[in-house]
Amino acid sequence: MATHTIDNQNVCIFKKPTSTWRRGMVLLWCFFLCSYANAQILLPTYRGRLLEGITYNAANNSLLWVDIISAEVHRVSLEDDSKLAETHETLKFAQPGESVGAVLLTKDPDTVLVCAKYGVARANFATQEFSYLLKYPLSPESASKLRSNDGIIDPWGNLWIGLMNDFPTVKAQGKVEPDGLLYRISATDLSVKVMVEDALIPNGLAFSKDASTADGHIFQAVFGQSAVLKYDLNGQPEQKFIIPAERVTCTGLGGKNDDEMFITTGHQQLDDFSAEIDAFDHTGDLGGFLFRVKLDKKINSMPTGVWGGPV
């Protein structure tokens, strides 16, 4: 058994059995593991290209996420299900060539940090202002080739952000090259320190207890497998949630009663920038929609990290 391997026949996370008997046992076990989750589209009239960075803010019971390719940050209030569409807000970084990799909380509920193409920006939902707080210490050549991909606030309020090849760079090269970096940005003086070099796709950042429950369970989105996996304390798969979209990108826990899971997904044509994304097409693969799953009990999720620096 390997907790990191996805079988190419979609048998959860096992290596291929070496005998028919073992294969049968694995398939039987997977049958009991799988849970065809009642995943509901949260906003039926909204559909993005590459949704990521799902973040629950308990301070105001709101949900935030980004559309990387569209350079957008979104927020919706979960206070009243009948007013979800009315409370859906969008901040767009309108500069040419921009992208948005992650959104992070600050002490001000209306102000967020946004990991963008060239650095970390400060954005405000009340004023609609969007401006750079700092830019990454890169050469002009590297700055043009890279973009922010995933970010997280550590337990001390510092920001960690991973950079990778930007979309035009990947298209020109035909693949992702190990040009990426993992930075730590100090909340005290905004200094930038390189923590990892020569990275391909820094993603899925988490510190102890992050991305998990207080009980130690971890929920993980599995891209290309239409699934979210729940792991127990020993790192063994405990439950598999089936999502009606192949490209599952990120999952977050929370809700007013701490009993919900939120999932972002990517559209099947996310690489075709000219493709029209139809929010009213609810047939076939539902990539690009934001999903909500009601869990069967309170999950004791860990609080989301908050930026400790200036806002």
**Span 144-156, pLDDT tens digits:** 999 999 999 999 9
> Does residue 118 register a pLDDT over 70?
yes
Q: What is the pLDDT of residue 274?
A: 82
Tell me which CATH homologous superfamily contains domain 36-294: TolB, C-terminal domain (2.120.10.30)
Tell me the pLDDT tens digit for each residue of 238-291: 999 999 999 999 999 999 999 999 999 999 998 887 888 999 999 999 999 999
CA distances from 92 to 183, 188, 195, 255, 279 (A): 24, 28, 29, 25, 18
Which pLDDT score, from 0 to 100, does residue 59 have?
A: 94
pLDDT at 217: 83
134 pLDDT higher than 90 = yes
The answer on pLDDT for 302 being more than 90 is no
Q: Which of 18-22, 111-115, 236-240 has the highest mean pLDDT?
A: 111-115
What residue segments make up the domains of the chain, in order of their start? Answer: 1-35, 36-294
- Better-scored residue on pLDDT, 22 or 194: 194
- Among 18-32, 235-249, 258-272, 289-303, name the one with the lowest average pLDDT: 18-32
Q: Which residue has the higher pLDDT, 269 or 302?
A: 269
